[in-house]
Amino acid sequence: MAPPPPSDHPAFRLRLLASPFAVSQLTPDEPVPAHLVRALADPAAAQGRFVSVTRTADELSVVRETDEADAAWRCIRIAGPMDFGITGVMANLTAPLKAAGVPVFAVSTWNTDYVLVPKDDAERAVRALTDDGWQFDA
């Protein structure tokens, strides 16, 4: 297994975000729900929460931070920002999760990457990444 990026570099530190996340899929012909449009258009409506909406020819995917108790995902965030010339970050991050049998749902932004793991697997994911040399911030 390839070593992770230099974990002593602040951009590669990890954080398990406190809030649960929800992931949903809509059909490609559905409109973006109004509350998500508001959250994307108005920072005050988003209340500083993560919201990602992606439309393709096949689907509309929504990933969002939520307070819902039954949300099925937890999110691991790479501190970032990362230079686009750096390669292998996602491969190195997900390899120990694969070895531990932890499924992932990844979302990338300009600055960094987010890896969602099932909430029931979050402790196992943190342990696998820590054992692989990744460092978590509190």
51-62, pLDDT tens digit by residue? 999 999 999 999
pTM equals 0.90
Phi and psi at residue 64, in whole multiples of 5°? -150, 145
Question: pLDDT tens across 84-112, in order?
Answer: 777 888 999 999 999 999 999 999 999 99
Answer yes or no: are the C-beta atoms of 93 and 129 closer than 8 Å: yes
d(CA 96, CA 115): 13
Q: Check residue 87 and give its pLDDT.
A: 81
Number of structural domains the chain divides into: 2
The answer to whether residue 138 sits within a structural domain is no
* 32-45 exposure pattern, b = at least 16 Cβ within 10 A, e = fewer: eeeebeebeeeeee
**Position 5 pLDDT exceeds 80:** no
Q: Check residue 15 and give its pLDDT.
A: 96
Range of the domain at 55: 21-71
Answer yes or no: are the C-beta atoms of 60 and 53 closer than 8 Å: yes
d(CA 104, CA 96): 11
Query: Based on the domain organization, do 83 and 108 belong to the same domain?
Result: yes
The answer to whether residue 116 sits within a structural domain is yes
**Position 8 pLDDT exceeds 80:** no
CATH of the domain at 88: 3.30.2130.10
Query: Based on the domain organization, do 3 and 32 belong to the same domain?
Result: no
Query: Based on the domain organization, do 85 and 128 belong to the same domain?
Result: yes
